[in-house]
Amino acid sequence: MGDRESDIEHLERVFNEASAQPSRISYGALRLITQNFAVVIGSGGFGSVYLGKLQNGGIIAVKKLSSQREDVSYKQFLAEVDVLRRLNHKNIVRFLGYCADAHGEVMDVQGKIIIVEEQQRLLCFEHVPNGNLGHYIKEKSYGFEWSMRYQIIKGICQGLQYLHQERIYHLDLKPENVLLGAQMEPKITDFGLSRCFVGQKSTIITSNILGTMGYMAPELIDNQQISFKADIFSFGVTLAKLLLQSNEPLTQNWHQSLDDEDCPQMKMCVEIARSCTKRDPNSRPTIGEILHQLNKTEIMFQKVREVYEPSKDPQSSLFKV
């Protein structure tokens, strides 16, 4: 049996067994699984994400870091693998494996045939079928019942609580980094900027400020200070946009349009979002305190009779035939 076939079989075992550890996968195996990276299902500054199909019928997502940004992709790769290999939670996208290979391509350069070698760095994940939260907010006219939004809010909180208990700070939480599963369960993804903390230290000062403007905490921008409260600020902005059903930047008085809402749970979520986005990090709640507040209103939560899935809605841009 060739190395590619062996790698694919190993990946299939990881895919089928929830307790299995992520595996190293050859570049050749990933080219075969993705049909030479034929179908793009996502992209960003890091590179692109491709659809992969296993022989047992499983579907995966393969994130290929850009080879054009060697310094950034190398650091992101190491950071993301270090974080992802530690994670196992229903509200965190499942990590299946990685590839770190040098791959040579025969090329014609000014009439001379040469072999150009590139470092290939790829990450494999479970495929999450219903796009990301940013798409869901954008398509607010479809299936946007409050109970669905509450389910998403609660799931993000549970995933973030797990990360903070493991002393991992995400540092780029935003709607585009929350994927939605088959039952619209949220799964936090993209850990390229995340930090793992050891010992008793909970705050550090960094000179390398990366993130998404509009979601970055003020103390991170102004003082280069990293703590778990930076995630709380990002969660607050994400929560506010989900409540407003809008991807537009938040205004100072964003909550005023929601002040007349009758739903006690929604009012509670508005107050949570406001407290999370306070400028002083010491005034923001912990994720445990946020979940405690949500649980207090849980009895008022009414579940929808049918789960809406954009990938099955002909009116949605995510519809798949």
Reported as a single tens digit per residue, the pLDDT across 166-206 is 999 999 999 999 999 999 999 999 998 898 887 767 777 87
> What local confidence, expressed as pLDDT, does residue 313 receive?
76
Residue of 147, 189, 179, 188 whose CA lies nearest to 311:
179
Give residue 305's pLDDT band: very low, low, confident or very high (50, 70, 90).
very low
Query: What residues contact residue 29 under an 8 Å CB cut-off, 6+ apart?
Result: 3, 4, 5, 7, 8, 11
CB atoms < 10 A from the CB of 84, how many? 23
Number of domains in the chain: 2
Catalytic option among 172, 190, 262, 280: 172
Q: Are residues 157 and 174 both part of a single domain?
A: yes
Q: Please say if the pLDDT value at position 134 is more than 90.
A: yes
> What local confidence, expressed as pLDDT, does residue 304 receive?
43
Q: Are residues 137 and 121 both part of a single domain?
A: no
Q: Are residues 115 and 177 both part of a single domain?
A: no
Q: Are residues 155 and 286 both part of a single domain?
A: yes
Q: What is the mean pLDDT of residues 11-35?
A: 92
* Boundary-marking domain end, from 126, 144, 162: 126
> What local confidence, expressed as pLDDT, does residue 173 receive?
97
Q: Are residues 201 and 292 both part of a single domain?
A: yes
Q: Are residues 143 and 274 both part of a single domain?
A: yes
Q: What is the mean pLDDT of residues 12-25?
A: 91
Q: What is the pTM of this model?
A: 0.87
* Boundary-marking domain end, from 126, 141, 158: 126
Does residue 318 form part of some domain? no
Q: Are residues 297 and 179 both part of a single domain?
A: yes
Give residue 307's pLDDT band: very low, low, confident or very high (50, 70, 90).
low
Question: Which structural domain range is residue 198 located in?
Answer: 133-311
* Boundary-marking domain end, from 76, 109, 126: 126
Is 64 marked as binding a ligand?
A: yes
- Rounded to whole angstroms, the Cα distance separating 299 from 318 reads 33
Q: Are residues 153 and 111 both part of a single domain?
A: no
Q: Are residues 288 and 206 both part of a single domain?
A: yes
Does residue 317 form part of some domain? no
Does residue 69 form part of some domain? yes
Q: Please say if the pLDDT value at position 71 is more than 60.
A: no
Q: Are residues 164 and 108 both part of a single domain?
A: no
Does residue 319 form part of some domain? no
Residue 172 appears among annotated catalytic residues: yes
Q: At 238, which CATH number?
A: 1.10.510.10
Q: At 45, which CATH number?
A: 3.30.200.20
Q: Are residues 121 and 138 both part of a single domain?
A: no
Q: Are residues 138 and 278 both part of a single domain?
A: yes
What is the per-residue pLDDT across 209-251, written as a single tens digit (0 to 9) for each?
788 999 999 999 999 899 999 999 999 999 999 999 999 999 9
What is the per-residue pLDDT across 271-299, written as a single tens digit (0 to 9) for each?
999 999 999 999 999 999 999 999 988 76
